Amino acid sequence: MFFLLRHMYFWDSMYGRTANLAVFLADLRAVNGFDEAMVGYGAEDTDIIQRLNNLGLKRNYAKCMAVCYHLYHKRLTMTKTNFKQYERNHQLVRCVKGMESFGS
């Protein structure tokens, strides 16, 4: 089990997954939530985690303490335009088209 865990958490601070993400609402509002300019699958989770990092938050892991069910999808279906949007957002704390555009 240790071998598996060691390789599951090898990525650097820029990489992230939001399949099982917990964040305080105030922090989510501070970064304006997920970037709604991103459409489809790909980079939306890395983008919000990078902006939370830019806000100054540090991440904690819930290794073997949180259950997550993942809906299978092919990795080839990622939307390339999302990565361009991520590059534009990389230094930002807040995205332009986020949860505030829905009155949240």
Banded pLDDT at 60 (limits 50, 70, 90):
confident
Query: Can you give the pTM of this predicted structure?
Result: 0.73
Alpha carbons 65 and 32: distance in angstroms, whole number: 28
Mean pLDDT is lowest, of 15-19, 49-53, 62-66, 77-81, for: 15-19
Portion of the chain with pLDDT greater than 90, in percent: 21
Give the mean model confidence (pLDDT) for residues 60-67.
Answer: 77
* Residue 32: predicted pLDDT: 95
